[in-house]
Each structure stands twice: as C-alpha cells, then as structure tokens.
Amino acid sequence: MPYIPSAGELKTKPTQHSVRDLREIGIQPHVLLVRADRPIPEGERRKIALFCNVRASAVVQALDCRTIYEVPIAYHNERFDDEVLAAFGIDAPPPLDLSRWTQVVHRITKPDGETRIAVVGKYTVLKDAYKSLIEAINHGGIANNVHVEIKWIDASVFEAEETAITELEDVHGILVPGGFGERGSEGKIMAARFARERGIPYFGICFGMQMAVIEAARSLLGEKDATSSEFGPGGKPIVGLMTEWLKGNATERRSSRDDLGGTMRLGAYPARLTPGSRVAEVYGMTEISERHRHRFEVDMSWAPRLAKAGVTFSGTSPDGALPEIMEIADHPWFIGVQYHPELKSRPFEPHPLFASFIKASVARSRLV
C-alpha cells in the first residue's frame, strides 16, 4: 500500500484495483497479503475486505522486516497461518515451533561481533548476480554469531591502478567468486597473491580457485606464462577445457571445436577428500557431493610440482582425474573449490566451508 505523505495516509485504491483485475479473469483471492512500510489501520483493512470480498481477518499486513528470515515470524504474528489453515479446512495442525527462526533472527539482529569480507568479482555493479553468494556469506555469519560486512571490489580496478590493491588491507577475508572470460582475471590473481602473502583467509570459488592456482604457478613455481586456455592461445595453460569426465556410469565428452551451448559440467558430482587435510576437517568427512557449473578445469599434471611448493589438491573426483579442491596447509585459511558451495547453504544449515571461512576471518579481525 502506498503512503501519501502530503495526505498523511495509506491508500487502499491500488489494492482494490489489483483484486478487481484478478476477479475479472476469474480469480477470487481467499487471503490478501498487503505490503506496507508502516502498520495498516484497522479501518483501512476493513475497507479492503469490504471492496475485495474477503473476511477482515484475511487482510494480512505484510510489513517490512529487518531481515528476510524474520518474515515467517512476522506472518505468524499477523495470524497468516490461521488464514491458510482455514482456507484449506485444516482443523488440527501439528504443533508450531518457530524457535529456529527466532534464533536465526536473534543472531542477525544482535551479533556478538563483526568481520569484513572483500568480494573481488567481475559483476559487482549488479549485486543480484551474487545473490546466492551473499546469502551463503550471511549464513556463515549466522553460524559464528557475527555480522559480515561485504566490501565489493571490481577486479578490473587492480589491473588499471597498481595502488588499488591497498583496498584489501582493511579486510579480514578475501573471496573470489566464479566468472567467465578474461576480463578481471589478472585482478583476481593479484587478490589471490595478496591473500597468500599477507596470511589473509582466502576463499576461491570456481574461477576463483583457478586464478589461485595460476597465481601459485607464477609466484611459487616461477612459471610466469601460466594462464588459462579460456583466455585464448599462448602461454602455459594451467587451466584448460575439460574434454572428458564421468557422469554417473556414462562418460561425457567435449571438444574445443564444439559450440559452447550445453558444454558445461553441470549439476551434482561426488568428490573424495584427503584424510587429514584442512578441508576434510571442515567437512568432517572424506566423501562429499557438490554442485558444479563450469567447463574449464585445472590440469592435474601440475599437481606434483605444486605440492612441493605447498599447494595441494586435497579433493578430487572419485577417479582422481579432476581436481575439486586446492589448499595451502601452512596458511591460516587458503582454500579454493571448483564447485559452488553457496548453492547448498541454508540459514539453518550454513555450508561448512562458509562457516569455517567466516570463523577464520573473525580470528583475523581480532589480530589486526
């Protein structure tokens, strides 16, 4: 419902007209959830009920909340659940327990501390491109009862201005998310190097893992021409197009001559973790399943040389052909994953990698 400041009142006409249009095409609502930024007076709710042909109790105010996770509690307080039960004729519902939602809201609105995470990405102008990532980071904050401030940084800025890397000096963790194409890749490599050299917790996801491996090859192995074949011919491709992998009992094959459409390694795939590795400790198990969305992969033939430099692939596909996770053991927290853990994170069950990453970032914040 719109509020008109000059009149000092909420207007019901837009709601009435919306319901009228629905009824014209044969849809009669049982319950109306009316969005508003302030409480709706009882008289206005009765007016909406009268002109929209619903019970007054079925006009439920949906006020703005402090967090989206407070919405179920707010709707319950407005007796929305009673109206839904009445509409379906359910007389004896199971006992209601909103304690988990209450705990989540309490942790979000009254955190014990704060940490600052830099997200070095390519699409930072449009935050919705990272919506799943934002929520997973927040879930990590919930798990640690802290507020997470996200500092958005366009990776290409590091390429244009050498001093721009100082933007990372006041953060407690660096996350480099997925992306496609060469733009911003050097900036992401610079962010990975900054995190590795400064001992700042680093979390590389998909493209972010690949850039971390390229950075390690350049800095630790002396391979200055290390690159990805995604960026075109030339150099030494540490990362290349996957040509063959297992999907269930079938073998998927791709070629560089194929069209890009439908060529991704897409969906859930299993992985095996190295016992005793940091990532196995984070997960609490050695066999996992995660969701993927990529067509390029780190070349495993580089694994022995990287291992001697302290960069290990602590998670691989079951056949050992594809690297899934890289980590640096003598770093406070440096993990890169080829998959997208943010897609499996939930407010009640934060993904263990995000919970662990935020925990390491909190520890970092208390040192600086």
Residue 171 has pLDDT above 90, yes or no: yes
Torsion angles phi and psi, residue 31, rounded to 5: -135, 145
> What is the C-alpha to C-alpha distance for residues 59 and 151, in angstroms, rounded to an integer?
40
Sign of the torsion formed by the C-alpha atoms of 189, 191, 197 and 199: negative
**Percentage of residues of the chain with pLDDT beyond 70:** 94
Whether the predicted pLDDT of 246 surpasses 50: no
**Nearest-CA neighbor of 220 among 303, 310, 298?**
310
Domains of the chain and CATH, by start:
3-104 (3.40.50.300), 112-365 (3.40.50.880)
Q: What is the pLDDT of residue 245?
A: 40
- Mean pLDDT for the stretch of residues 108-136: 94
Give pLDDT tens digits for 313-356: 999 999 998 999 999 999 999 999 999 999 999 999 999 999 99
Task: Look at residue 190 in the predicted model and tell me its pLDDT.
Answer: 94
pLDDT tens-digit map of 66-113: 999 999 999 999 999 999 999 999 988 999 999 999 999 999 999 999
Q: Average model confidence (pLDDT) for the chain?
A: 91
Please, is 94 exposed, middle or buried when counting C-beta atoms within 10 Å of its C-beta (0-12, 13-18, 19+)? exposed
**pLDDT at res. 295:** 82
Whether the predicted model's global pTM rises above the 0.95 cut:
no
Q: Which residues are catalytic?
A: 206, 340, 342
Local confidence band at 244 (pLDDT 50, 70, 90 cut-offs): very low
Cα dihedral 163→167→172→178 (10° resolution): -100
Q: What pLDDT shows up at residue 258?
A: 53
Calpha distance 262→295 (Å, rounded): 10
The model's confidence at residue 129, banded by pLDDT at 50, 70 and 90, is very high
